[in-house]
Chain A
Amino acid sequence: MTGPSYWPPQPPPGAPPVSPPQFAPPPFAPPGGPGAVAWAPGLAAAPPALPARSPVDVGAVLRLVAAGLLLLAGTLTAIACFLTVLTIDFGAGDPPFEATAWSDGGERLPTPIRWGIPMAVVAAALVAGGVLLLVSRWSASLRGTGTAVAAAAVGGVVAVGWMLGGYVSDLGDAIRGIGVDPDVATEVESGGATVLVVVALWTALAALVPLVLAPVLDAVRARAAVGGAR
């Protein structure tokens, strides 16, 4: 192609220079001042959408409840280690026989039944399970481990509480059955340790309810989230 180049467009020779177009302000001010612009007729604008409210994580709350119950059960079991397991009052002015979790006052056996050993282990397991469940609130990878440890701790306190309660109950029945002197009432009383361990047993069993419900509600929440995303 010969001749002058028409691109980019050039002014013809001798024409006055053209300045670039300038922004022209509107010839009138909008009503209400320069800030108001939505004055055109039509439907009213919808109110701005509120941010979506995050639903409460019920599973996490239930895990916290279970952790609290397990910690309570562990504390009760730990306190029980320092209390009397049982008292046998033989009457006739004799001093009562007292057995604690670590010794017996009557020196009945060379080695007393040291109930405190399994009780202390179970208390430690309950506390560990409760702490793991608490920590799993912030670290989801610990959730499975915490639940398994909690289940094992509940099993442990059930076994110890069941066997200790049965032992004290059977001992009372046996001593009443072989009453040496019918005129002397021999009484076997459960001590504070036995009572606390049994209370800890039921507390730990109560912790199982939120512990079982938590994953169910987690699944429901996840399903709802997937449904909402569709």
Chain B
Amino acid sequence: MGGATTARSAAPGTVRVLRPVRVRQVSAGLAVGAAVAGLLSLALSLDTTRYFFDGEELQAVTRTADGSVAGDETGAVDTLVWTGPTVVAVVLLGLAALAAVLAARTDRPGTLGSVAQQLAAGAAGLLAGATGTLVVFAVSDVSAHEGAEGVVTRWGPAPAVLLVAAVLAAAAALTARRGRAPVLATIGAEDTP
């Protein structure tokens, strides 16, 4: 912010030129980052089970976001889908980023800042809930073949990426109403002390 001053009220007959509030612009960036991470999780796997025989991999079964199981023709009996909550969260985060950018143009956060905060908080809740549900499911799934000969189940990256998205969304919610606008110049201030 440098040496720029901030002021809540302008003197009568003057117009203040404000620099957009950086914290709220950062909030918009965090929301966009969370949305990108959420979208990325849709392309990643929950876990992968590999079947070996004599040290050679016979088959690899991977759980994906839409509930399908890649690599197994018969499919798994139980599936978990995280597409719906994640897509809703991404949409909310996009709207939150837009609201935060608009809120950065005024000194006070106002209604747009509140909207950005609540949208980002809702998206953070969605992503956190999806992450928690994925984790408890994957813990059980990974444990299914513990100690089994020739079968190994490894975690996929989707839960970690969803967790990152949830943290970014929470940070966006925390910063959506912070900051004050620095005054770059005041027009018509010659007559005012």
Q: Which residues of A contact B (CB under 8 A)?
A: 109-115, 117-118, 121-122, 125, 144, 147-149, 151-160, 162-164, 166-167, 170-171, 174-175, 178, 215, 219
Q: Is the CB of B82 within 8 A of A163?
A: yes
Q: Say which residue of B114, B144, B173 sits within 8 Å of A215 (CB atoms).
A: B114
Contacts of A147 in B (CB 8 A): 114, 118
Q: Is the CB of A148 within 8 A of B140?
A: no
Q: Is the CB of B78 within 8 A of A122?
A: no
Smallest beta-carbon distance B119→chain A, Å: 8
Q: Say which residue of A118, A158, A170 sits within 8 Å of B132 (CB atoms).
A: A118
Contacts of B121 in A (CB 8 A): 148-149, 151-152, 155
Interface of B is mostly: helix
27 A-B pairs whose Cβ atoms sit less than 8 Å apart in the complex: A109-B140, A111-B139, A117-B132, A118-B132, A144-B177, A148-B121, A149-B121, A152-B122, A154-B125, A155-B123, A155-B124, A156-B128, A157-B129, A158-B85, A160-B129, A160-B132, A163-B85, A163-B130, A164-B133, A166-B67, A166-B80, A167-B81, A170-B67, A170-B79, A175-B77, A215-B114, A219-B111
Q: Which of B100-132 contact A (CB under 8 A)?
A: 111, 114, 117-119, 121-130, 132
In Å, the complex CA distance between A159 and B84 comes to 8
Q: Which residues of B contact A (CB under 8 A)?
A: 67, 75-82, 84-85, 88-89, 92, 111, 114, 117-119, 121-130, 132-134, 136-137, 139-141, 143-144, 146, 170, 173, 177
